[in-house]
Amino acid sequence: MRLGFHISIAQGFSKVVEKAQKTNCETIQLFSRNPRGWKYSDLDRNEIEQFKAKRASSNIFPCFLHLPYLPNLAAIKEELYTKSINSLCEDLRRAETLSTPFLIIHMGSRVTLSEEEAIEKVVRGINQSLQRVPNQVMILLENTAGQGTELGFKFSQLQKILSGVENKKRIG
């Protein structure tokens, strides 16, 4: 088993590996942008190259990218649903740019939808995203504690989503 932490990118991607090494991380998780916002700026190529070079010369692996908290693939409002899919696509691209093989996501909150309707929306959103971004990044579904109407607190919910995703090699 490899142990690690969520490492902040506040001082830039070039500092992530050093921060991780100071805490004896064997693996890391990070955001590619503000986790509590929708906006993102272009990734700085120099910062990314330094990050990748430092990771390659370290014993830190695997590396996990985490989707920000705002996207909701079970959103009832079409505008938020579309924005969430676009956000997932952006982070799938960013994960590839960062040579990060995994993207962790929360499925979302179903609010007024039934569990089945919400799961169908999540599956549809993931399938659309994987089709739009045909790279090798694997989406990992993060389980939740089950507060409110969040999805992902029952294994049956996770299994239904996993079963519905068409590209089985890119979901876990």
pLDDT for 11: 94
The pLDDT of residue 130 is above 90: yes
Q: What is the pLDDT of residues 96-111, one digit of tens each?
A: 999 999 999 999 999 8
Task: For the chain, list the domains and their CATH numbers.
Answer: 4-170 (3.20.20.150)
DSSP string, 107-137: --B-TTS-HHHHHHHHHHHHHHHHHHS-SSP
pLDDT for 26: 97
Q: What average pLDDT does range 36-60 have in this prediction?
A: 96
Please state, in angstroms and rounded to a whole number, the distance separating the CA atoms of residues 117 and 136. 28
Phi-psi bin for 29: left (phi > 0), alpha (psi -120 to 50), beta? beta
How much is the pTM?
0.95
Own/partner pairs for 8-12, CB < 8 Å, 24+ apart? 12/44, 12/47
The pLDDT of residue 147 is above 90: no
